[in-house]
Copies of this chain bind each other. A is one copy, B any other.
Amino acid sequence: MKLWGHYKISWLLAVTCLLVLCGMGAVAQTQAAPAPAATAAAPPPMATDAPLDLKPAAAPSTDDLVKGDPAGTKTGTANDVVVSDTKKGMTLADLINQVGQNRIGINFTWTLITGFLVMFMQAGFAIVETGLCRAKNANHTMMMNFMVYGFGLFAFWVCGFAIQMGGGAPYATLGGASSLNAEHVVTFMGKTWGVFGTHGFFLSGISYDVGVMVLFLFQMVFMDTALTIVTGSCAERWKYVAFAISSVFMGAITYPLFANWAWGGGWLSQLGANFGLGHGYADFAGSGVVHAVGGVTALALSLIIGPRIGKFTREGKPNAIPGHDIVIVLTGCFILAFGWFGFNPGSTLAASGNGALRISSVAVNTMLAGCTGSFGAVLYMWIRYGKPDASMSGNGLLAGLVAITAPSGFVSAVSSAIIGLIAGVLVCVSVEFVDRVLKVDDPVGAISVHGANGLWGVLSVGLFADGTSNYGGSWNGVSGSVRGLFYGDASQLVAQLVGICTLVGGIFTLSYVSGWIMDLIIGQRSSAADELEGLDIPEMGALCYPEFVLKPEGLRVPAEVAAD
């Protein structure tokens, strides 16, 4: 064991070197990009309705094309610009329309595909959570995760989406989505503040619009991510019907409210424009909106439901209850890391124009923070307990990803690595804190992964945002780029802290009270007998693994681990 001491020293050295180096890197970023030169006053307009002479474009003829084009040099030419009047021929106006159509086509493609990736994260959450539970509850845990997609989507379609996004139009990168233009506002201190949106219920009427649909899809999969966090912390003892109603409530009300305030033109996003607090609450892809909302709701419901039987000894000492399948836990983490490439980079809602090429930087930041998150957790566990730990490695990766979600669009690669590394350690410490101090039972660590690190992510925007981003030249209606404390804007940090207080004060309270009322009316927790048997037969009517022989519970944990 003495050697661990030396080991620590070498680590300290290495980490110090790293930090020094990072610091040097941060300092070395001295040269800001020059502002684009201003253009002069305009001459009389140029006609755009004359047909264009296409001969110099030398597009291939039909006879030529029919011979096949293996190189791809005869395909995709002047022939492929859509012409409004084929008799007249292509005009400059056609060309301009096609350029606009191409831009929106790129943005749709990007936002939809990244949205699909986020939807796939549901599979990741499902198997991570199930793998971390016991086999006797595996069907139940899978089915919560499976139906959260259906229940949540339904509620969000009925009213959640309208509440969240119904007042934020126009969404320029998606061609407008212009019908989402009715935000309910209140006036306070002489300013109007958005509270919730009111267009887009059922996606019907004027919200039957291609731009609105892109936005719905992308926002819906984010909402579902928040919901699925709660199923993890309440697993192995949550009554299925209570879960179902909670999910509908959260998808219809809790999540959309906060999301409106942050992203739908609501009051948190107006803190900059109305109060001069930086650029208002800035949460690029939802460390706060998605993960911390999920995490604090998970905490509230875990408190109401109470710990699993056997989790704590009579003296309050926590027992480790290991998951039943590490393969699916880590496979799920990979799926989540894959889906996160949709989550963060897709949050630009654009890949052409508007400074949207920064998607690459967002993607790399995401990757790096996930990496240093798992790195940090592995090192923490290795140093503290003598062995790297699979569950905590996975949670470290997720913690890094959660933490970078809010700042991913505003920070550098080095900052991302630091944010992730801190997240990886934070999640380990937080899991111990929840277990030993709060004495809350969280089977999968969701409160620590999503709650603690979601808040850390929100905070880190106010520290590390470096002012290099440009998303159409402004953010939340405040021109210029988001900067944190380390780059000279302390007021941004204040805006972030207001967001954090709202999350912890408002969302926690709303979740706790609604959960408590539901507990009174229908009861949140399954019976002790069901819990001891495993919820699969009593709640779902079928075992997850009916053919496999399982060990009796007492024999599962190897002696050396049990003694830990």
Contact = CB atoms under 8 A, between A and B. Distances in A.
Contacts of A371: 149-150, 153-154, 157
Interface in A9-39: 10-15, 17, 19, 21-22, 25-26, 28-29, 31, 33-39
Given A17-B15, A204-B28, A390 B56 contact: no
Contact of A397 (B35, B150, B174, B557): B150
Contacts of A364: 203, 213, 216-217
Nearest to A152: B371
Contacts of A31: 67
Interface in A69-110: 69-82, 84-106, 108-110
A58 B37 contact: yes
B326 A142 contact: yes
A36 B84 contact: yes
A96 B90 contact: yes
Given A104-B357, A146-B333, 17 more contacts: A21-B202, A29-B205, A29-B208, A38-B85, A40-B49, A46-B53, A57-B96, A57-B97, A68-B212, A78-B97, A82-B103, A104-B352, A109-B109, A150-B375, A204-B412, A208-B468, A240-B388
Contact of A338 (B17, B47, B119): B119
Shortest 7 CB-CB contacts between residues of A and residues of B: A105-B352, A72-B357, A76-B104, A123-B334, A213-B360, A80-B100, A49-B56
Contacts of A315: none
Contact of A393 (B57, B143, B356): B143
16 contacts: A8-B10, A33-B74, A37-B86, A39-B89, A59-B100, A69-B210, A78-B93, A102-B103, A119-B367, A120-B335, A139-B390, A142-B326, A154-B375, A211-B360, A543-B558, A549-B549
Copies assembled: 3
Interface string A529-560: 00000000101111111111111000011101
Contacts of A49: 39-40, 42-43, 53, 56
Nearest to A153: B371
Interface string A178-193: 1101000000000000
B326 A542 contact: yes
Interface in A383-432: 385-391, 393-394, 397, 412-414, 417
Contacts of A242: none
Contacts of A375: 150-151, 154
Contacts of A5: 3, 6
Contacts of A391: 542
A438 interface: no
Given A42-B87, A68-B179, A541-B389, A109 B110 contact: yes
A372 interface: yes
A244 to B, nearest CB: 9
A380 interface: no
Contact of A146 (B212, B393, B544): B393
Interface residues of A, number: 219
Nearest to A43: B50
A207 interface: yes
A126 interface: yes
A155 to B, nearest CB: 10
Contacts of A412: 70, 203-204, 208
Given A39-B86, A551-B549, A357 B108 contact: yes
A83 to B, nearest CB: 8
Q: Which of A34, A138, A548, A561 has the most CB of B within 10 A?
A: A548
Nearest to A345: B112
A35 B52 contact: no
